[in-house]
Amino acid sequence: MMKLVISNKPYSPWPMRVWLLMRELGLVFEEQIIDLSGPDKIARLRAVSPSGRVPVLLDGAITVWDSLSIIEYLAERFPTAGVWPAAAGDRAHARSIVAEMHAGFTALRGQLVMNMRRNPRAIDLKPEVQADLQRIFTIWTDTRERFGKGGPFLFGRFSAADAYYAPIVSRLYGYAVEVPAACRPYMDVIQSLPAYKAWRSDCDLDPWFNEKTDNL
């Protein structure tokens, strides 16, 4: 059985993306959580991850690290699971917006730090964060208009693109960000996913409260 190594769920957007995708697509795996509150966390991370970061997917003798690499591995390993949209043009667009999220939006990440247990509360957003948000809203509306006619997700059916933007939905909620009316239905459908609800429920069971993050 595949094993997915992740970290504390309230604060872990990168592991969330892969976990959500695998759960929602029905891929069977075991999860291993590395608690980042311990003093020996670096050693424990290095023991399973060449990069010292999670997520890491262990599939027999194969080790895959980095969320995007894992997603591409899953697409090859399970070609009929629906990791990416079926049509070539849709798939190209999906990979582009996933790569943009993977490499960009650093201002947003820096100010709207992931914390799924955060009581919704607005903060003053930096101009560069506002620019990141506008780009994300454009991605959502443009993708839905062009590719999403067959269902409620970015490409109609749930795919890696939705998993990749799911932590953004959590951040928008936790920081009470004003969202265009056209984007609200998409946020609602992400939050209604069984896998999203399961991850959110598990956050309440996590014993670690990151004082620095929780006080932002």
User: How many CB atoms sit inside 10 A of residue 84's CB?
Assistant: 22
What one-letter code names the amino acid at 99?
A
What is the average pLDDT across 204-210? Answer: 89
Q: Return the amino acid letter for 184.
A: R
pLDDT at position 216 is 67
Per-residue pLDDT of 185-200, as tens digits, reads 999 999 999 999 999 9
State the pTM of this model.
0.95
CA distance 45 to 187: 32
**Portion of the chain with pLDDT greater than 90, in percent:** 88
Every domain of the chain with CATH number 1.20.1050.10 lies at: 88-199
Q: What is the pLDDT of residues 22-46, one digit of tens each?
A: 999 999 999 999 998 878 888 998 9
88-199 maps to CATH 2.60.40.1930: no
Q: Are strands 29-34 and 56-59 parallel, antiparallel or unpaired?
A: unpaired
The overall average pLDDT reported for the chain is 96
Topology (CATH) of 2-81:
Glutaredoxin (3.40.30)
Q: Give start-end residues of each CATH 3.40.30.10 domain in the chain.
A: 2-81
Q: What is the gyration radius of the CA atoms in the chain, in angstroms?
A: 17
Residue 106: partners with Cβ closer than 8 Å, 6 or more residues away: none
